[in-house]
Amino acid sequence: MLVLTRRIGERILIGDDVEVTILDIKGDSIRIGIDAPRTTRIQRAEIVEAVRDENAQAAVVGDEAEQALRAALAGRTEPAT
């Protein structure tokens, strides 16, 4: 990991087409601006991790949910063709 010290208004260049600018510093928060092509995905890590965790939890089917689904499907009638 590269660790840099920057001041307000200073920039960091990533590759040829991504520029990160330090906009403001207040207490323990830093506002940054990111200039990148629209094709470059920029995501907050905590959001990606939360979605991944929610998807993993949703993929786990408990016994009760499985039984309820089976019961619902067993009582379903097929449409006439």
Based on the fold, state whether residues 28 and 48 are members of the same structural domain.
Answer: no
Query: In 3-state terms, what secondary structure has residue 19?
Result: strand
Based on the fold, state whether residues 33 and 2 are members of the same structural domain.
Answer: yes
Q: Please give the Cα distance from 53 to 51 (Å, whole number).
A: 5
20-77 confidence digits (pLDDT tens):
999 999 999 999 999 999 999 999 999 999 999 988 888 776 778 778 888 888 886 6
Whole-prediction pTM: 0.65
Per the structure, the count of domains in the chain is 2
The one-character DSSP state at 78 is P
Based on the fold, state whether residues 1 and 33 are members of the same structural domain.
Answer: yes
Per-residue pLDDT, 46: 96
Q: Domain range holding 68?
A: 43-76
